[in-house]
Amino acid sequence: MIKVGFMGGTFDPIHYGHLLAAESAREACGLDEVWFIPAGHPPLKENGPLADGQTRLEMVYRAIDFQPHFRGMDVELEREGTSYTIDTVKSLMELYPDREFSIIIGSDRVNDLPQWHQINELAALVRFIGVRRAGEELKVDALPAFLQERLSIIEMPQIGISSTDIRNRRAQGRSIRFLVPEKVYSFIRRNGLYES
């Protein structure tokens, strides 16, 4: 079986925190591939993304350009309605029966796992790889036992970057250089993304 770590996200925009979390998970868990899957309509987020789906996917492609273990996928962008992970996992398992999927999530998402749609069924299908995220407390003990059993926590160099901070910096006319890969940086600037 080919081991795939699926990293879903709003990626509005993708940044070095995402890439380093993915690479840390790949190394720690011996993953063959990491797939970056931008959410069409992210669940549990108060505000929808600022950039449209194709623009966020384009930034993912630019960020992972020439990385042999990384892939960008549009499966959630093509789907109507809220992008529940259970639906994505089921369709990926059907499309790629030769692959074994796990889900890579940062600590903020680890803490809200019990609120995920059909979480019992999801946890029966996949394992979760939780990555410690700068500024977020990991509350593994607060999770129900069935989730703790399906969760591995891995470490990564703590990197306090968030897409919110990047969008805020752009709105204030501040620099985002070195927070995102150079090809994402030039794309954001060229297209005037996140300007106020």
Contact residues toward ligand NCN (CB under 6 A) are: 8-10, 39, 42-45, 83-86, 109, 116-117
Q: State phi, psi for 127 to the nearest 5 degrees.
A: -100, 160
Which of ligand ATP, ligand NCN, none does residue 163 bind to, with CB < 5 to 8 Å depending on kind?
ligand ATP
Which of ligand ATP, ligand NCN, none does residue 55 bind to, with CB < 5 to 8 Å depending on kind?
none
In the complex, the residues that contact ligand ATP under the rule CB under 6 A are: 9-12, 17-18, 21, 105-106, 108-109, 131, 133-134, 159, 161-164
In the complex, least distance from residue 189 CB atom to ligand ATP, rounded to whole angstroms: 19
Residue nearest to ligand NCN (CB): 8
Residues 6 or more apart whose Cβ sits within 8 Å of residue 33: 2, 3, 4, 5, 69, 70, 71
Which of ligand NCN, ligand ATP, none does residue 159 bind to, with CB < 5 to 8 Å depending on kind?
ligand ATP
With residues binned 3-state (H G I as helix, E B as strand, rest as coil), the percentages for the chain, rounded to 5, are 40, 20, 40
Q: How far, in whole angstroms, is CA 193 from its chain's centroid?
A: 20
Residue 83 · residue 117 · CB < 8 Å: no
DSSP annotation string for 98-156: TEEEEEEEEHHHHHTGGGSTTHHHHHHH-EEEEE--TT----GGGS-HHHHTTEEEE--
Residue 75 · residue 93 · CB < 8 Å: no
Nearer to ligand ATP by C-beta: 12 or 76?
12
In the complex, least distance from residue 139 CB atom to ligand ATP, rounded to whole angstroms: 14
Which of ligand ATP, ligand NCN, none does residue 43 bind to, with CB < 5 to 8 Å depending on kind?
ligand NCN
Which of ligand ATP, ligand NCN, none does residue 116 bind to, with CB < 5 to 8 Å depending on kind?
ligand NCN
Nearer to ligand ATP by C-beta: 92 or 110?
110
Nearer to ligand NCN by C-beta: 124 or 189?
124
Tell me the HSE value of 108 on the side-chain side, using a 13 A CA sphere: 9
